[in-house]
A and B are shown apart, each in its own frame.
Chain A
């Protein structure tokens, strides 16, 4: 075999192996997706949206309590997390003048984005659940807020920095004060990017389970009182899936399907906003 032939064969072998890796990877992942879709669609029915949790065995159970609880938990987390994250990101991009301490805030936020979320749950347990004496919706929302904050902060920071400084200078030249420049010019210029950050941040916390296990805990019935334990899709999914009852497991798949579709939709929307923005420039 000549040297050239050997090189060609090795090249072919490695390229085939890589393609095989891609096929294996995609295969596993689409296996999971198809299991999710097949079981999910199978389990979906009007009952899911109309009924609350029920004891196993009577086929009357639904997910209304979990869907509404999830909306409360993620909704409140967004009400706190989004404005706080945007304001903090605004400081880093517009006011910090590349100071050392701002760089530290950035680095710590990046690290917090990958830190184990179950630890945040333990922290919230200590500072919210223990003083209150019981699990509550607020505790869950606070845990999700802490997880969301660094994500929104960093995306806002990055997106604001993409706004050309000539825009800011033009507004300053007209005599606008800095806060007006930021709110009316910079935010407007970075609108699509900030929105993407918000969608991805919300999508990320919507799938969180671990920090809710011992903050909002769970409830098998509809509860809209944030002072009380509250059901979420993710914890309900965990409890129902690990139960031995087949109808509960079915409900677990329905919850998995609804949640995954919601998260995928937010991710796709976020991507579309970014694409639209890139198209304009």
Chain B
């Protein structure tokens, strides 16, 4: 009896564990299957065409791709230096008590849902952008900044963890030779933790590109490519969030599924690069 239960338990856990692989394969297959109509209709033009006109059954993803790339790029430019600064502060400057308090609050802020960041952005940040830069405030610029604030806690916490892996003996040796704190950070900690730091940035990039709610509030969902950052724009997740429940033709749906597939492939690739090239030894928690 006991042997039977033993076998059963072993097999059921195995089945569930492997079903994760099936699930992921199923997700890719379904998204591809549902994209087929759009792929057949537009082919490669889907990603190079800049017209998105549901009423004319014309779907070009270029404005959404452009918006995703620019808003993510903007967010990274703003968040990376601040995240490094916060991480240096947390790992090298702050006293033990401050380190714990600031560290924990940063981690807790990373847990606040992105829809809350979006709501704050709409009511408190967009008006400031409007006052400074004119226009309606709902814009690529607002989206980039809100996104950078949204990913900052995550980046800072992971970068700090990477920096904290530097063995004390290395730092102490450098201090014993008369190094300043900055020398230690620049010549010991950053080189030692380089892979982890870069990995955390790429991981944050992967998250930022798929982040939906923080930007949906403040970006506008306007399918137009503009180099003026104060103009409303759209991105892949913003388009999906705004239009999925309202699409009214199979080709429209299919185009949205192709956008989802595109987003999944891109973020899967980015996260895999972070994981396999830079974060090999990192644990999940």
Binding site for B on A (CB under 8 A): 7-8, 10-11, 14-15, 17-22, 24-26, 28-29, 31-33, 35-36, 84, 87-92, 94-96, 101-102, 104-105, 107-123, 125-127, 135, 146, 149-150, 153-155, 157-158, 177-180, 182, 203-204, 206-210, 213-214, 217, 234, 237-238, 241-242, 249, 252-253, 256, 259-260, 263-264, 267-268, 271
When chains A and B are docked, how far (Å) is the Cα of A14 from the Cα of B217? 36
- Chain A contacts for B6, CB-based, 8 A: 177-179
Contact of B21 among A36, A105, A146 (CB under 8 A): A105
Q: Is B245 a contact partner of A214 (Cβ separation < 8 A)? A: yes
Binding site for A on B (CB under 8 A): 2-3, 5-6, 9-10, 12-14, 16-21, 23-24, 26-27, 30-31, 33-34, 81-86, 88-90, 92-94, 102, 104-109, 111-120, 122-124, 149, 152-153, 156, 180-183, 185, 203, 206-207, 209-213, 216-217, 237, 240-241, 244-245, 256-257, 260, 263-264, 267-268, 271-272, 275-276, 283-285
When chains A and B are docked, how far (Å) is the Cα of A15 from the Cα of B30? 51
Q: Is B14 a contact partner of A20 (Cβ separation < 8 A)? A: no
Taking the closest CB of chain A, its distance from the CB of B222, in whole angstroms, is 15
Q: Is B271 a contact partner of A115 (Cβ separation < 8 A)? A: yes
In the complex with contacts A108-B21, A110-B275, A207-B85 CB distance below 8 A: no
Q: Is B263 a contact partner of A116 (Cβ separation < 8 A)? A: yes
- Chain B contacts for A146, CB-based, 8 A: 23
Q: Is B120 a contact partner of A35 (Cβ separation < 8 A)? A: yes
Closest to B242 in A: A213
- Besides A110-B284, A114-B203, A263-B111, 16 other A-B contacts (C-beta < 8 A): A14-B185, A15-B181, A18-B93, A19-B85, A21-B89, A22-B85, A22-B86, A26-B105, A29-B109, A87-B17, A107-B275, A158-B285, A177-B6, A217-B245, A241-B217, A259-B113
In the complex with contacts A25-B82, A120-B27, A256-B116, A115-B284 CB distance below 8 A: no
Q: Is B115 a contact partner of A238 (Cβ separation < 8 A)? A: yes
Q: Is B212 a contact partner of A268 (Cβ separation < 8 A)? A: no
- Chain A contacts for B152, CB-based, 8 A: 25, 28-29
When chains A and B are docked, how far (Å) is the Cα of A182 from the Cα of B283? 22
Q: Is B109 a contact partner of A118 (Cβ separation < 8 A)? A: no
Contact of B9 among A116, A157, A179, A204 (CB under 8 A): A179
Closest to B19 in A: A88
Taking the closest CB of chain A, its distance from the CB of B77, in whole angstroms, is 14
Q: Is B10 a contact partner of A125 (Cβ separation < 8 A)? A: no
In the complex with contacts A29-B153, A213-B245, A263-B112, A108-B24 CB distance below 8 A: yes
In the complex with contacts A10-B182, A35-B124, A153-B263 CB distance below 8 A: no
In the complex with contacts A88-B16, A111-B271, A256-B212 CB distance below 8 A: no
When chains A and B are docked, how far (Å) is the Cα of A112 from the Cα of B268? 8
Q: Is A32 a contact partner of B120 (Cβ separation < 8 A)? A: yes
When chains A and B are docked, how far (Å) is the Cα of A35 from the Cα of B107? 19
When chains A and B are docked, how far (Å) is the Cα of A90 from the Cα of B14? 9
When chains A and B are docked, how far (Å) is the Cα of A122 from the Cα of B216? 16
Q: Is B21 a contact partner of A122 (Cβ separation < 8 A)? A: no
Q: Is A102 a contact partner of B27 (Cβ separation < 8 A)? A: no
Contact of B5 among A90, A108, A150, A179 (CB under 8 A): A179
Contact of A263 among B89, B113, B212 (CB under 8 A): B113
When chains A and B are docked, how far (Å) is the Cα of A146 from the Cα of B19? 11
- Chain A contacts for B267, CB-based, 8 A: 114-116, 119
- Chain B contacts for A207, CB-based, 8 A: 111-116
- Chain A contacts for B118, CB-based, 8 A: 238, 241
Q: Is A256 a contact partner of B119 (Cβ separation < 8 A)? A: yes
Q: Is A31 a contact partner of B124 (Cβ separation < 8 A)? A: yes
Q: Is B81 a contact partner of A21 (Cβ separation < 8 A)? A: yes
- Chain A contacts for B108, CB-based, 8 A: 264, 267-268
Contact of B116 among A24, A32, A203, A208 (CB under 8 A): A32
- Chain B contacts for A149, CB-based, 8 A: 20, 23
- Chain B contacts for A15, CB-based, 8 A: 88, 93, 181-182
